[in-house]
Structure 1
Amino acid sequence: MIEAHDRCRAARRVNPVCQATSGIDLAELQSSRSASMSSSLDRLRAGRRSTVMQHILLCVLIGVLGSGNVSQASEMRRLSGMEIRTTLTGKMLTDYAHMSETYERSGKLVIDSDGDISKGTWRVSDDHLCKRRPGILDECYEMWIAANHVELRHPIYPAFEADLRAP
């Protein structure tokens, strides 16, 4: 509307558009245009904020649903001594990156930590998995499992988390 008003003034013509704009105050037009643009910008900014918040919420949901620990926490169950023995015998616990522990049928424990191989023993006592490496380790843990995800829990140390698989 302002552009049409300006063109009419510049051309000094009378046509239907010029007649329609001739009675309108230019300051009034500019004020209404400014208010209209301001409200459009506010809507655009609000839409961007809304979109950003939607993206943040989506990322949080993906993180929560994608992390195995959160979804498995409600499914974790503690194993009995017999279940520990049958679950671990001939299997390996691994984080797929830095370490693995292989539980042999004979009670031998083979630990690979970043390529350093060490040996020890394992046994089940009072519904706990007990691991022993002379001079290094002699501890017993509760064993919790959900699918193939295992947590070895100790009252003092943080939980040891790994996946169970065939060696």
Structure 2
Amino acid sequence: MSEGVQKVRLAESKSQLARRLIAALATGIGGLVTLDAGFVAAESVRTLTGAQIRAAFTGKQLTDEVHYRFVYDGDGTLRTYSMGVKQVGKWRIQKDEICLYITDMGDDCYRVTQSGKRFELKPGPGGPIDGILEPAYRGDREKP
């Protein structure tokens, strides 16, 4: 076989290898996009009813894991810890909203949405409160 023919075949095989590599990468990326879309669909946002809010929040705390936490005691007491400042107020369910009564923050009722582990309290006007719900501290009622 002549040297010229060998070079042409080598170039063709490199070209085929490149096409196969590109096809494999495209398939892999397509799979990742599909997988990512599945996670997004699995964590769609849902609005909670009053009963769902009560079941989710009673005995739990909503926290951003850094700056604040809101502890929802079963008797309706609301304890807030924000940047080292503790406040005590009340909480209750009214229709499909959670209402918070805190002296320095004012009183407001919020719609509650959930997406995966994250919960968001959305007021009429104003900004939302969001974070994750976790069990409230037991035996250490003052732990920030």
Structure 1 residue ranges without an equivalent (≥5): 1-23
Matching residue of 2:141: none
Cα deviation, 1:95-136, whole Å, max 9, x if unaligned, reads 361332223455432102244322223344455322122243
Q: Quick check: which one's helix share is greater?
A: 1
Alignment of 1:15-164 (within 5 A): 24-51=1-28, 53-54=29-30, 56-57=32-33, 60-61=36-37, 63-64=39-40, 70-71=43-44, 73-74=45-46, 76-79=47-50, 88=57, 91-95=59-63, 97-98=65-66, 99-105=68-74, 107-143=76-112, 150-156=119-125, 157-158=127-128, 160-163=130-133
Q: TM-score, normalised by structure 2?
A: 0.61
RMSD across aligned C-alpha pairs, in angstroms? 3.8
Matched letter for residue 78 of structure 1: T
Between the two proteins, the alignment pairs up a number of residues equal to 135
Structure 2 residue ranges without an equivalent (≥5): 138-144
Q: Structure 1 residue 138: deviation in Å?
A: 1.7
Percentage of identical aligned residues:
20
Q: Quick check: which one's strand share is greater?
A: 2
